[in-house]
Structure 1
């Protein structure tokens, strides 16, 4: 896909025309002057049933409680900020950004919503959907990583270019992409907030997915800190070929030693093989 010279590192605002930044923000759709109802570059009143979801939306989970609260606010005050859409046919629009507002408006029983109509190709839609959500820090780490991966694969961007577009360091982008190498069960813990990025990064050097899953569950069960997790993984990786039985001073196994042996036994039982 051909790449244009996008403005880098400035968030969603840099990808939209200045006109949108200058648009008014009112508490009721009735206060908008809806002229040229669907002309690009204008704010239009669009029926909710004319808007389809953004297929490039990186967010996969929405907090129902938060949506209910937003819906209550909309019932009382109306839509404060228009959503952004693109026209895809006669009286048909595709959402670019503002899915929470759109969903909450549906819950609030609105029939239409103020929408900023703009022109955008597929690459621009993907970029804006990801940049907006990442800038607001509303995505979980896996959603962010998948968004970065889509920018790389579908927009033909390098990691460096992705980093500039989302305003992050190259190392941040690289580290998040590495999370996608973890097994699905561990990624699910990240999505649910049971593990932090630091915990997950510590598991990456472990080269067996079953071991990663077992270690991840142990980290959660024991409530280990990131530092304690790093120490546990360090001992795990440094273990000998025989079952681990290192001794503390005085010949008594330490708690970590017992944990490592317990984990080894669980893995050996599950895999039916000898675990280093």
Structure 2
């Protein structure tokens, strides 16, 4: 207990240092920066702004109240992370649930790690730390991955290194964004799982996606049952279109099709001639989707 009291007193001492205009720290090279940056400091809640880069867009009121009750009794166990914006002004990088719950609990200060970062670094830190630490739903994770790709200009391979996930895992999350918005909302609200969403991804017709979604809800279908339903629909469509017969797809091609589909985020088709020659067909649903695929191909050169 004595050690905890000493640590808190140190945090308050550093907080006083930050309030001294003569010690306004703006970069890691400034005087006393080593005493502040990376250390736990008690900051006033009113001096902290929420993070516009926060990937979580909804907070459950009941769980926030439960966390607030816990904080009233034992305090904030894990410090939040903030970046310094200006004199005695900070912005959240991660820990918004703890920040909100501390306000509900009536706290005036909160323990925080201080970081100094520009907007791009802050975005990267916020998204990566939240993906790793927070219980985000699959769509929030997918949106966070997409923001890192678009706004930080990362390839899926670079993103894989940043977040410590396989590229195929990232591709599977990103493919969820191709689902109809109503289906995405169903995943976010927990009516269906990510597995249900993945089973529907190869259905390009969004109205058919909605029809499948309604059947999942109405009949409480499992992921396996949903996969069977989708397969039945695929077979029915194939029977209607009656494609011209083609040569059998070689085993070496067949074994790589899932890898191609994961990489491009779309169901890849293959045509093979009698002489063993063939071509891969990459579908796209819009100009934006076409540019996404073009960017993937360019990044691999």
Query: Is TM (by shorter chain) over 0.5?
Result: yes
Give the superposed CA RMSD: 2.1
Give the gaps of 5 or more residues in structure 1: 1-24, 243-276
Is the Cα contact below 8 Å between 2:11 and 2:42 reproduced in 1?
A: no
CA distance in 2, matches of 1:198, 1:108: 37
Is the Cα contact below 8 Å between 1:203 and 1:233 reproduced in 2?
A: yes
In the other structure, the counterpart of 1:236 is 233
* 2:4 is equivalent to residue 35 of structure 1: no
Is the Cα contact below 8 Å between 2:82 and 2:115 reproduced in 1?
A: yes
Give the gaps of 5 or more residues in structure 2: 19-35, 242-301
CA pair 27-124 structure 1, distance change in 2 beyond 3 A: farther
CA distance in 2, matches of 1:235, 1:108: 53
* 2:160 is equivalent to residue 163 of structure 1: yes
CA pair 182-28 structure 1, distance change in 2 beyond 3 A: farther
Is the Cα contact below 8 Å between 1:159 and 1:170 reproduced in 2?
A: yes
CA distance in 1, matches of 2:86, 2:134: 32
CA pair 137-238 structure 1, distance change in 2 beyond 3 A: farther
CA distance in 2, matches of 1:32, 1:55: 30
* 2:186 is equivalent to residue 189 of structure 1: yes
Q: Please, which of 91, 116, 119 is the counterpart of residue 88 of structure 2?
A: 91
Alpha-carbon offset, residue 31 of structure 1: 4.6
Alpha-carbon offset, residue 116 of structure 1: 1.4
CA distance in 2, matches of 1:79, 1:116: 13
CA distance in 2, matches of 1:227, 1:143: 24
CA distance in 1, matches of 2:76, 2:107: 10
CA distance in 2, matches of 1:155, 1:229: 36
Alpha-carbon offset, residue 101 of structure 1: 0.8
Q: Please, which of 205, 219, 223 is the counterpart of residue 222 of structure 1?
A: 219
CA deviation map 1:178-233 (0-9, x unaligned): 11011110000010111111111111111111111111111121111111111111
Q: Which has the higher relative contact order, 1 or 2, with Cα contacts under 8 A spaced 6 or more apart? A: 1
Is the Cα contact below 8 Å between 2:148 and 2:159 reproduced in 1?
A: yes
Is the Cα contact below 8 Å between 1:134 and 1:144 reproduced in 2?
A: yes
In the other structure, the counterpart of 2:148 is 151
In the other structure, the counterpart of 1:142 is 139
1:229-268 map, 5 Å = 229-239=226-236, 240-241=239-240
Alpha-carbon offset, residue 29 of structure 1: 8.5
More helix by share: 2
DSSP 3-state at the match of 2:161 = helix
CA distance in 1, matches of 2:99, 2:4: 16
The aligned length equals 218
Please give the TM-score of this superposition, normalised by the length of structure 1.
Answer: 0.74
CA distance in 2, matches of 1:59, 1:144: 9
DSSP 3-state at the match of 2:93 = strand
CA pair 183-26 structure 1, distance change in 2 beyond 3 A: farther
CA pair 55-96 structure 1, distance change in 2 beyond 3 A: same
* 2:31 is equivalent to residue 53 of structure 1: no
Q: Please, which of 171, 193, 198 is the counterpart of residue 195 of structure 2?
A: 198
In the other structure, the counterpart of 1:254 is none
CA pair 29-49 structure 1, distance change in 2 beyond 3 A: farther
